[in-house]
Amino acid sequence: MLLTVAAALPPATALAENAVGRLNLAGYRHREMCTATLVAPDVALTAAHCVTTPTDGYLKRVGDMTFVAGWDGKHHTGAARIKAVTVHPKAYSEGRFDIAHDIALVTLDLALDPSPLPVGLGVPPGPLTLMGYRRSAPHQLTITPLCYGEEKGPLWRIRCRVEPGQSGGPVLLGEGRSRRLVAVIAAVVEEEAIVVPVDAWLLGQLARR
């Protein structure tokens, strides 16, 4: 599998990368991409702004969405269409987008083989590992380990570079069996990643599945 690597990879990355994939959105006049991660065999976690229109909160066409896990430009570890989208209930308030709750779950039309990543709580500084498909390298999973950051109100600001396309990508904490997804990439500001930490709503949604 082709990788863009910012530093030596920590153990267990090879297992994690199979669950991370591209979320493709294609329509009559547009083509977009984000990153999403399997958190259940038929559920992937991504950013809310990837599946909605931030200016008004309307859901993008579910029929235009496809998730491709472990994509490397030639092969993948599983692919499925999206049959439903669940957006964080606080992502939009009175029609206004709130990046502090920029997370959503997409339900796939079939279960995929890669092992889902465990989801849990964590706090900065790290070290953290960021993953995602950059627009400048759309057929390579970019993995950036050894990232550190700090809490900025409800968000985290991580001192590692991200690009468009990595929105919705996972932020991982820990190694080996303790590795877990603790946040989702939402934006970039001044070459730093702005990420949304896992919260009680997300944990509750996953517990009911």
Are 80 and 108 in contact by the 8 Å Cβ rule? The answer is yes
Name which of 126, 133, 208 is nearest 170 in CA terms.
133
pLDDT at position 30 is 60
In this structure, the answer to whether residues 87 and 134 fall within a common structural domain is no
- Whether 3 has a pLDDT exceeding 60, the answer reads no
For the entire predicted model, the pTM comes to 0.89
Sheet holding 128-133, edge to edge: 3-5, 141-147, 128-133, 170-173, 180-189, 192-197, 155-158, 149-152
Go through 33-57 and write b for each residue having 16 or more CB atoms within 10 A of its CB, e for each that does not: bbbbbbbbbbbbbbbbbbbbebeeb
pLDDT band at 207 (very low <50, low <70, confident <90, very high): very high
Say yes or no to pLDDT of 1 above 80: no
Residue 97 shares a structural domain with residue 178: no
Enumerate helices (H) and strands (E) in the chain, giving the number of each: 3, 16
pLDDT band at 20 (very low <50, low <70, confident <90, very high): very high
Q: Do 188 and 143 have their domain in common?
A: yes
Q: Please report the sign of the dihedral spanned by the C-alpha atoms of residue 160, residue 92, residue 19, residue 122.
A: positive
Q: Is there a contact between 173 and 189 (Cβ–Cβ < 8 Å)?
A: no
Residue 150 confidence class, pLDDT cut points 50, 70, 90:
very high
3-state SS class at 178: helix
Largest Cα–Cα separation, the chain: 45
Residue range 85-113: mean pLDDT, rounded:
94
Residue whose C-alpha is closest to residue 67's, from 25, 14, 13, 4: 25
**CATH code of the domain containing 70:** 2.40.10.10
Do 90 and 153 lie in a common domain? no
56 lies in which domain range?
A: 13-108
pLDDT exceeds 90 at position 31? no
Residue 8 lies in a domain: no
Segment 131-146, tens digit of pLDDT? 999 988 999 999 999 9
Last residue of a domain, one of 49, 78, 108: 108
Which CA distances in Å does 71 have to 35, 85, 140, 142?
11, 22, 7, 11
pLDDT in tens, 37-69: 999 999 999 999 999 988 888 889 898 999 999
Which whole-number Å values give the CA distances from 174 to 1, 35, 62, 160, 177, in the listed order? 23, 21, 34, 17, 8
Q: Are 73 and 158 in a shared domain? A: no
